[in-house]
Amino acid sequence: MAELVVSELVTNAVVHTEGPSRLQVEGGEGRVRIAVWDTSPRIPPPLGGPPAASVRPVPDEQPGGRGLGLVGVWARDWGAYTVGEDGFGAVGKVVWVELAWGRGDFAVAA
């Protein structure tokens, strides 16, 4: 599951922004935190609420728009914030997701 979350966040940074992006993964005490920095200050709309509330209907004919909803189902917590020069070293935003860690694998948060 963590691989899918990393893939979604990094893909969004590449597809929806211009310029570089960076990935950071940290783990400890029953959780892993995945963070992706990119050069756009725009916060994706689903990140304004609780993770489980992020799933929203997407028309069948629309080729995208489902990834962050899935990430929201798997996330224990998530968020995004804009950064200046003090963040990852450049302006933009950081989107982060925290996943529960259980029994050697990632567990879906309740």
* Per-10-residue mean pLDDT, the chain, length 110: 89 89 91 93 75 65 74 87 71 92 53
* Predicted local distance difference test score (pLDDT) of residue 110: 41
Which of 110, 98, 93 is CA-nearest to residue 38? 93
C-alpha dist (Å) from residue 53 to 11, 17, 26, 42: 22, 25, 25, 20
* Predicted local distance difference test score (pLDDT) of residue 106: 47
* Predicted local distance difference test score (pLDDT) of residue 37: 93
The whole model's pTM is what? 0.78
* Predicted local distance difference test score (pLDDT) of residue 35: 96
